[in-house]
Amino acid sequence: MRHVAVVGSGPAGYYTAEAAQKRFGDAVRIDIIDRLPVPYGLIRFGVAPDHQSIKGVSRRYEQVALSDNVRFVGNLEIGRDVSIAELADCYDAVVLATGAPVDRPLAVPGSDLPGVIGSAAFVGWYNGHPDWAALAPPLGGPGAVIIGNGNVALDVARILAKTPDELAASDICAHALAALEAATITRITILGRRGPHQIAMTPKELGELGTLTRAAPVVDPADLPPPDADAALDPGQRKSVQHLRDFAAAARAGQPIEILFDFFASPVAIEGDGRAERVIVEETRLDDQGRASGTGRRHAVAAGLVVSCIGYQTPPLAGVPYDQGRGRFENEDGRILPGLYCVGWARRGPSGTIGTNRPDGQAVADRIAAEVPGGSGRPGRTGLDRLIAARGLDVVTFRDWQRIEAAEAARARAGAPREKFVSIPELIAAARADDDPRLIPPASPAIGAHLASGAARPPGPVGE
């Protein structure tokens, strides 16, 4: 028997559990631990609320969660409630799948002014992350600036620009929908420090900007390289650049909001009287390697809201070697220390799609097979349960999560899949609500109801 703890229940965590299950069959017990009382990490809190088809992958993770040898332990923070050393004492292998939920800092003067918000916070706000639900971003317009030319910048621009009708079938939280309905932003400027050929936007997501009801993307034709130059791009990037060319050629159809692409524009300061009022931008030029340098020419872009979408980092964890420069755990192909591994964004940094995390899970399962012999005598989940009981921690099981999920579906506005609870107390209350047989799916035999009842040991062989 191998006992494996996976810290983090987003895509990388579940792909790891799935791969370990395939690799070891009945000879493994996997606990997926999350600091929040809900699973799925990025799927719930990062993926845009109007991209429901992407969120559908959580059904696959649910299959993993419901299998006998996998257990979800939510509302348990490693590093606060239980240390990494204690976890390592309990399990044969610990896999950190903690993602990259922290904004890379925007290192310009004025970035601490009210109204300047990182994308983790802004996306967390509209997606109902308990850390960010109370954010109240200033949406009083008319100007907003989004810094960065990646897909997160596109998500933020699209959510700011969509009408309430366009968001109706999404799972955007009621507080964000109401705030956006009252917003008066009419000019969203997306700042790219490099040019159209250097964008990190994928074609499908960029193309969506051209389909919005009340907003039009605007590109200055003078920013586009000669069309022949696109031949050197890979096919996906060529498609993205073609969208920019189409935006540049399109006539405005009277939409009241413009989404303006300001290329070769590097933010150098944010100014305002006690709050963000404008972004000072230095125009750039590119060298033949595609690197940007400042020209000394500056312009100001008026904005009461500045959302910095320049990438994320993994928070450090006491006792785990950390690569400050790259903002992720120090690791060699996913191995941090003997018995301690990392996967996903915590391993590679914040890049790629959700599916990119799958091979990481397979690779770490292979490493555990090669490097971590079973039968070590470590207690696995029984040991964790002892710590939980001794500390009186109120953890959430997968069955509890199913109660939360059913309650969120039951209170959704018409046409929406769910209305999320956005605070830990609300989530815990929903988890502890009496079972309503009409709402609650059948319980998995694997779920440790003993945790909810406070018993120190799991019933039966599941925890052995």
Could you list the residues that contact ligand NAP (CB under 6 A)?
147-153, 155, 193-194, 198, 200, 202, 205, 266-267, 309-312, 350-353
Select 190 or 364, whichever has its Cβ closest to ligand NAP.
190
Select 353 or 423, whichever has its Cβ closest to ligand NAP.
353
- To ligand NAP, the closest distance from the beta carbon of 149 in angstroms equals 3
Select 153 or 388, whichever has its Cβ closest to ligand NAP.
153
- To ligand NAP, the closest distance from the beta carbon of 148 in angstroms equals 3
Contact partners, residue 437, CB within 8 Å, separation at least 6? none
Phi, psi of 296 (to 5 degrees): 90, -20
363, 42 contact by CB (below 8 A): no
- To ligand NAP, the closest distance from the beta carbon of 193 in angstroms equals 4
Select 18 or 282, whichever has its Cβ closest to ligand NAP.
282
Select 53 or 453, whichever has its Cβ closest to ligand NAP.
53
Q: Is 293 helix (H, G, I), strand (E, B) or coil?
A: strand
Instruction: Specify the DSSP class assigned to residue 208.
Output: H
The Cα–Cα gap between 180 and 188 comes to 14
Task: Tokens 């509890």: give the residue.
Answer: 400
Select 193 or 378, whichever has its Cβ closest to ligand NAP.
193
Q: Is 84 helix (H, G, I), strand (E, B) or coil?
A: helix
CA dihedral sign, ordered 121, 124, 125, 130: negative
Select 186 or 198, whichever has its Cβ closest to ligand NAP.
198
Select 90 or 176, whichever has its Cβ closest to ligand NAP.
176
Terminal alpha carbon distance of the chain: 9
215, 259 contact by CB (below 8 A): yes
- To ligand NAP, the closest distance from the beta carbon of 151 in angstroms equals 4
- To ligand NAP, the closest distance from the beta carbon of 115 in angstroms equals 17
Q: How far is CA 364 from CA 8, 11, 222, 368, 443, in A?
A: 15, 14, 48, 6, 30
- To ligand NAP, the closest distance from the beta carbon of 195 in angstroms equals 9
Q: How far is CA 160 from CA 216, 309, 345, in A?
A: 12, 14, 26
Q: Is the peptide bond between 130 and the residue preceding it cis, with omega within 30 degrees of 0?
A: no
- To ligand NAP, the closest distance from the beta carbon of 277 in angstroms equals 19
Q: How far is CA 314 from CA 353, 365, 408, in A?
A: 17, 22, 29
Amino acid making up residue 69: N
**What's the CA angle centered on 84, arms 83 and 89, to 5 degrees?**
100
- To ligand NAP, the closest distance from the beta carbon of 45 in angstroms equals 12
- To ligand NAP, the closest distance from the beta carbon of 157 in angstroms equals 11
- To ligand NAP, the closest distance from the beta carbon of 42 in angstroms equals 9
User: Of 450, 452, 453, nearest to 461 (Cα)?
Assistant: 450
Task: Tokens 């070697």: give the residue.
Answer: 321
Kind and range of the H or E run holding 189 = strand 187-191
Select 10 or 350, whichever has its Cβ closest to ligand NAP.
350
Select 8 or 74, whichever has its Cβ closest to ligand NAP.
8
